[in-house]
Each structure stands twice: as C-alpha cells, then as structure tokens.
Amino acid sequence: MAVKTLQRYVLKELVFPFLMGIGIFTFILIMDKIFALADLIVKYGVPAFTVLKLLLYILPATFAITIPMGCLVAVIVAFSRLKSDNELTAMKASGVSVIPLTLVAMLFGGGLTGVMIWFNNQVLPSSNYAYKSLYYNVVSKRAAIVIREHVFVNDFDGYIFRVGETNPLSNELKDIMVFSLGRKETDPLRTIVAKRGRLITDDKSRRVMLKLEEGFMQMTQAKDPLAFARLEFDTNLLDLDINNALSNQTPENLKSAREMSMREIQNEINSGRAGGEDLNLLKVEYHKKISIPFACLAFVLIGVPLGVLAPRSGKYLAYFVGVLLIFMYYILLSLGETFGMQGRIPPFLSMWLPNLVLISIGLYGMIWIIQERPPLMVWRKRLKAEKA
C-alpha cells in the first residue's frame, strides 16, 4: 500500500515541472518567430488575427519537440526533489527500491509517447498544411514580406533578388536586379535588370510570379563565358518558387511529407511515384513521426539516474547535463535526417539512432542506481577477480 502511495505522489510531482518545461522550451523556440510575425503586423499591415492563426499553426510543430524536453525536465525535478528531501533515503531504509517509482515515470513517458504518436500523425500534418496555405495567401498579397529593400534575397528557387524600393501595400517594386542561377549545369546564367515590377499570383495553380517591366537581360553560358547575349524587354514574367515549397505542385498534390499522415506517406512510398531522393525523404519522415515520441521514454530512462545520482549541493548539475543531452539528441536527429535523406544511412536507422544512444546512456545510469556504483567499476573488479 505504501508503494502505491509513493507512486501516486511521484506521478503528481511529475505534472507541474512537465508543464513548466514545455512552457519554457516552447517560448524559447518560438521567440524568434514571434518577432518575425510581429513584423507582419507593424511593417506590412497583415491583420493581427491572421498573424495569430499563423502562430497557432506553428505551435504543434514546436510541441512535437518540446514535449520530450519537458518529460526529461519533469523526471529530473521530481527525483532530485525526492533525494534532496531525503525521501529516497527513507524509502531505502524501509526496504523500498527506486524501481517502483521508475515504473511510474516510465508509465508517464509511455502515455506521452502514445499521445505524441497520434499527435504527430494527425494534428501536426494538418497544422503544417494550414500554416503553409495561410502563409502562401499572406505572401501572395504582401510581396514585401519576402522581398526586402537593399537586401539580397534567395528565398526563391534558382533566383537571387535585390530590390531598391518596395511598396508593401501596392506590391510594386522598383530598381530590380535578378540573378538566375540556373537549375541545370547547361542552363545559361542570366542577369536581369528592370526599372519596376510586381509579384502576381495564380491561386488555381498556387504559383507566384514576378512581372518585370522596362528592363534588359544579359546571358552567358556556364561552359563558355565569352558567349554573351543581351536582350531588352518591355515585359518579362518569371515563375518563382517560395522556399522550394510550391515547385511543380497543384492544389491536389500540394502536400509535402511533413504535411502527410503516416498512411498518406506509406501510400506515396508504395505507389513508387517519388524519385530516389524523395523516397528517402518520405521514409525518414515516416520513421520520425514515431521515433520522436519514443524520445519521451528514452528521456525518462536518463532523467531518473540524473535526478537520483546528482549531489544535493549540486542538483543544478543534473539540469545542465539534461540540457546537454537534449542538444545532443536533436543534433543527432538533425544529422540523421540529413544522412537519411541523402541515402548515406538507412532511413530507419537515421531516425532511431538518437533514441538508441539515449536508451544506452539511460540503462547505464539505471544499472548504476541498482548496483549503487558505476557499472564500469563493477566490471573492472570482476575482470581483476577472474584474472586473479
């Protein structure tokens, strides 16, 4: 009965620091987004309600990252408090081990894992798609959000822009210089200069185009720079692609991998319509929707040893190590995502390797708690005894 009471007590101790951890980490991650979205209101006249919707659509993608972080913080805080209040010592004197309390923390992490798998499969793709659609509508009506005065902008696929003057309300541009990099090695390199222009959109095909007026185009061949040509024009139309998001897409297939559920991704993989690199991207995204939720369990395995083993006088050391482990996890996740999409390692391994690393560290710490000494020390003594 006493064990069940302790388990309920630990479960209550996990809730508040978990919510605090989510709040702090979420605020840190979206702080730069808040300033950028505030500029939409102040500088470009975007309605505050529209900006608020954009912020709400961003939050699910942030929660997918910060909930595992909050899980680690909650476990460290709960178990370090048990130690600092000598409750763990009293439990040990009463013959109660830390294992039953660890099982409660694992149940807490397992519940979060299940919720996050559903969240990443249902809520997150819908919010990502809603953000992309709303942002497209905002950009299509406020060209200056993307193009800024006297700044080289490379947010368009294959183009670099520099604009001398913009009018956010009318979308008019003046003193325009465009560098066309070419999508293939055989494409000519073009420099386009125009007195004025305007961004126009086609809602049916979700295209963004730049209409240039009164200018000229200079072209050279990449393999033969001496082959030079100059062409003057009254009107010229460039087909653009904002952040590679709208390239060759129609409303029917506008969704990217991050905007699909697992079933939709699996259907895309089975259909074989994607090319080699795109297929890797789909597989990586599929496994990421499951692997990140399981980080909750991995962080629990790490959080318990950090909370228990941290010295009373240096309990903040546990938080510091926890933050380092969080950064290590997401660095490994980012590297794995890159290597998996490039095909350098299997997509499954690229997304699950960070969890395996965390679980290995966590199991080492759990063995340390159970044996009450570092496992390496125990193994060394055993080896010495065998040699003797």
Report d(CA 208, CA 31) in Å as an integer: 29
* Lookup: tokens for 218: 């200079």
Candidates 300, 319, 321; CA nearest to 363 is 300
Consecutive H or E run containing 153? strand 153-156
How buried is 327 (Cβ within 10 angstroms: 0-12 exposed, 13-18 middle, 19+ buried)?
exposed
Burial classification of residue 228, based on how many CB atoms lie within 10 Å of its CB (0-12 exposed, 13-18 middle, 19 or more buried):
exposed
Q: Which of 369, 375, 373 is nearest to 91 (CA)?
A: 369
Q: Decide if 309 contacts 365 (C-beta within 8 A).
A: yes
| Cα Rg of the chain (Å, integer) | 27
Q: In the prediction, which pLDDT does 206 show?
A: 57
Report CA dihedral (258, 264, 270, 275) to the nearest 10 degrees.
-30
The number of beta carbons lying within 10 Å of the beta carbon of residue 340 is 24
pLDDT score recorded for residue 311: 72
Return the exposure string of 247-260: e unless at least 16 CB atoms fall within 10 Å of the residue's CB, then b.
eeeeeeebbbbbbb
Which residues, 6+ apart, have CB-to-CB distance to 362 below 8 Å?
298, 300, 301, 302, 304, 305
SS3 388: coil
The confidence score (pLDDT) of residue 243 equals 43
Whole-number pLDDT of residue 250 = 40
Comparing C-alpha atoms, which of 355, 236, 227, 371 is closest to residue 309? 371
User: Token pair of 162, please?
Assistant: 């520099």
Query: What is the token pair recorded at 102?
Result: 């660890």
Q: Cα-flanking dihedrals φ and ψ of residue 57, to 5°?
A: -70, -25
pLDDT confidence of residue 291: 92
Rama region for 158: left / alpha / beta (φ>0; ψ in -120 to 50; rest)? left
What pLDDT was estimated at residue 246? 42
For tokens 């897409």, name the residue.
249
Is 368:309 a contact under the CB 8 Å cutoff?
Answer: yes
**99-118 vs 2-42: helix crossing angle, rounded to 10:** 40
Six-digit token pair at 78? 């709960």
199's enclosing H/E stretch is: strand 189-202
d(CA 178, CA 171): 17
pLDDT tens series, the chain, 388 aa: 467 777 788 888 888 989 998 999 999 889 888 887 887 787 667 888 888 998 999 999 999 999 999 999 899 888 888 877 777 777 777 777 778 888 899 999 999 999 999 999 999 999 988 888 888 777 666 655 666 777 777 766 677 888 888 776 677 888 888 887 665 556 677 888 888 888 777 665 556 778 888 888 888 766 666 667 788 888 888 777 544 444 444 444 457 778 888 888 888 888 765 444 468 888 888 999 999 999 999 999 998 888 888 776 556 777 788 888 888 999 999 999 889 888 888 989 999 999 999 999 888 888 888 877 776 665 555 555 555 5
Strand partners, 160: 179
> What pLDDT is recorded for position 230?
81
Question: Whole-prediction pTM value?
Answer: 0.71
What is residue 368's predicted lDDT score, i.e. its pLDDT?
Answer: 83
Report the distance separating Cα 343 and Cα 280, nearest Å.
7
34 contact partners, CB below 8 Å, separation of at least 6? 55
Tokens of 340: 């998996």
Report pLDDT for 237: 82
Place of tokens 């062409």: 231
Identify whether the C-beta of residue 245 lies closer than 8 Å to the C-beta of residue 290.
no
Tokens 């720079």 belong to residue: 225
Other Cβ atoms within 10 Å of 16 Cβ, number: 12
The CA-CA-CA angle for residues 248, 205, 247, to 5°, reads 20
Question: What is the Cα 153 distance to its own chain's centre?
Answer: 23
Of 381, 157, 153, the C-alpha closest to 249 is 157
Kindly report the number of other CB atoms within 10 A of residue 143's CB atom: 24
